[in-house]
Each structure stands twice: as C-alpha cells, then as structure tokens.
Structure 1
Amino acid sequence: LDDGRLTDGRGRTADFSNTVVIMTSNIGSKRILDTDAKIFETEEGREALRDVVTQELNNFFRPEFLNRIDDIVIFKGLTKDDLMGISGLELRKVQRMLEEREIILDVSTEAKRRLVDLGYEPALGARPLKRAILREIQNPLAESILEGGDLSAGTIKVNLDGERFTFKRA
C-alpha cells in the first residue's frame, strides 16, 4: 500500500496510487454497544472509546498492517430514530421500482415504526431493517402484482392491522 500498488493472489499488480481504500470492521463494536451512547457527546468520552477500540484493533491486527492505515473512524450504533430516517430512504427505493407500474406507495408512520421494530438489531446496523422492508412490503407487493391482484396502478396505502401489514388502494 505504501508504494501505491496492490498485488492479487496471482501476482498481478494494479496501480493504487490515486485510490482511497475504505475498510469496515466490527472489531470493537461489542464494546461500543455495551457503552452508554452519551459517551459520544463529550470529547473525553469519544477519546476514551477510541482508546478502547484501538486496543481491540491492536489485539486483532499486526502492527505492520495498522501502521499503513491513515485514519480510523468510529461510528456509534444506530438508534430507532436513525432507522426511521433510513426506512424513508429504503421505502423511496421501493417507490422508484414501482413507478414504472404507476404505483404510488404511501406507508403510514405506524407501519414505518413497525418496520423499525422488526428491523432493530443494534449489533447489525441497518441490514435487518432492509430485510424487514423486503419481507413485509416489497415481497407481498411483488406477489400481488404477479398475481394480477388489485394492487395495480394507483396509490397503495400501507397500514397496520394489529401487527400485520395491510395494503389497500387509496
């Protein structure tokens, strides 16, 4: 990495001189999740947490590797409020897929909260939320479209009936 070259397992080299390499890891995430989120609010708290995560990295990686990394960014875990925002972004992606069929998706706040509850797993980030949207919204809509159901063109309101998602033409 120092010379701006990357060599693969077959001995081929690639020019990496103008490349930014971003790596992610869950090393230290258990310690972060076990820590009160308020620690991120003070500089002292962030520094103490950084020291703990740096120690975890030192226990896992060789110093020769860590010495080649310019910076380490530590993220705090996602809250349910964060996931509410992410749910809006993910549901807009579903909406874009439905536009060619002239379907408008209107998901109630209550339904979004339920998706967040189903997809909230602090140690796993936003992926469980994406899976909940796929399982509870996207797949049922796709099945209805394929079956020629009454969820064709128009506005579809997604609500909750108890803990069950409902899809109704607006």
Structure 2
Amino acid sequence: MSSHPSVRHRERLWPGPFGWAMVVVATAVAAVTLSPLSRTAMVVAAVITLAVLILGILLTTPTVAVRGGELVAGAAHIPVHLLGRARVIDRAALHVALGPGSDARDFALVRSWLPGAVVVPVLDPADPTPQWLVSSRHAAALAAAITEAQAAHSEQIG
C-alpha cells in the first residue's frame, strides 16, 4: 500500500514459491550444462541465466491497484464508478468462475498461486465486459479499496 492519498491499494503479483524455485532450477541447469567447458563458463551461464530470469519477472509481474478513481490490473484500468460491488472469492470459487460455463468476455488477471481474488461486475452498458476477476494476496483489502474509491467518487459528484 502507498501513503499517497489517491492510492488506496497497491500490490505486485509476484510469483509464488514454485515460480522462484523454477528460477533456481533453471539457473542450476544452465550452470551444470556448461560445467564441462570450464568453471568460468559455468559461473557466467549461471549469472546470465539468473539475471535474465529475474529481469523477466520484474518486467512481467503485474500490479493491481486502486488509484486515481480507477481499478488497475496490469495494463488494464477501469473507473471505479463504472463498477458494481466488489466481492471476495476464494480459490475454489475462482476455479468455478473460470471454468465451464464462464463468460469468455470477462476480464481476468489471475495468478493460480494466489489464495483469493475479487470479482467486480462492470455496470457500464457500453462495455462488453461483464465482470473483472482479479487475483490478490489481500483480496479483502482490494475489495475494501474499491468500495472506498466508489464512495469517494459518489461524494464528489453528490
């Protein structure tokens, strides 16, 4: 979370333990693969592999935020006044929401290793997206931030 007044919630959806373990394994594989050549090749391979993988994670890990009157999920954003009531769901409910019978028009920023998510309907009749599904480590805090931002928007126009 940020102390800036327009930021009500902010988190990065970093990989889980399995993702980080895969970074370590890939680094070790690169090192072992080049170890017959020389110790220097092994170390260089490990350092380059580790650097590339960490840079890749830094560049591709999305941010989820409620700021400036918008819900931001990765590169997507939508004004909170166009959203309905945010609802927290657990992993099982998210699985159902994404499973057979789900609406392909839903926006989903989902990370399977996270324990929960927020579902929020889109109320804008011009928007073909019926709802947003957004993973979060702090789903209750994300839902509360959306609700707060909606209330703040209502106070501004009311």
After TM superposition, the score normalised by the length of structure 1 is 0.22
After TM superposition, the score normalised by the length of structure 2 is 0.23
* More helix by percentage: 1
* More strand by percentage: 2
The structure, 1 or 2, with the larger RCO (C-alpha pairs under 8 Å, 6+ apart) is 2
Radius of gyration: which is bigger?
A: 1
